[in-house]
Amino acid sequence: MKGSKAYVEHVAIWVKDIQWHIRFFEDVLGMTMREVDGSIDAPRQYWTLGGLQFIHAPEHEGPEGRLAHLGVMCEDLEQALAAAREYDVTQMPQGFNWLRLPDGLAVEFIQAKPAVCVAQALAINPRAEA
């Protein structure tokens, strides 16, 4: 085998409304705060347990091709989708588990098998000292 086994520790995304993204990913997917740059009320950047970093950029007008999509492993796919529908999201043509967020980001919700692997992955603190 060449290289090493790996996983993505986090993905940084420019977002126009950082508070909306914080609420959405916490309420829908349980991704709570790992770290914040600035205050909780007005963060410049916000990292979640679960691998996302939001960079507050209300003026961002880049193409929505900044990412093709996020693939998010869920302990309970149906529960996550039900929670997501409480927000201003739209289903995409790719399937019932693909949602487009208001500022254009596409998210694919995936059922983790076994679901326990999500808890195990979230238990890892990549910034902790060994």
CATH number at residue 101: 3.10.180.10
**What phi and psi, each to the nearest 5 degrees, are found at residue 78?**
-65, -40
The answer to the question of residue 15 being in a domain is yes
The answer to the question of residue 109 being in a domain is yes
| Dihedral of alpha carbons 110, 111, 117, 118, sign | positive
The answer to the question of residue 91 being in a domain is yes
What global pTM score does this model have?
A: 0.70
pLDDT per residue as tens digits for the range 20-34: 999 999 999 999 999
Number of domains in the chain: 1
The answer to the question of residue 130 being in a domain is no
The answer to the question of residue 25 being in a domain is yes
**What pLDDT sits at residue 56?**
92
Residue of higher predicted confidence among 6 and 89: 89
The answer to the question of residue 38 being in a domain is yes
Q: Would you say residue 44 has pLDDT above 50? A: yes
- Note down the domain range covering 48: 11-58+68-122
Share of the chain above pLDDT 90, in %: 42
Q: DSSP 3-state assignment of 30?
A: coil
Cα dihedral value 70, 73, 79, 85, nearest 10:
0
Separation between Cα atoms, residue 115 and residue 110, nearest integer Å: 10
Q: Would you say residue 59 has pLDDT above 80? A: yes
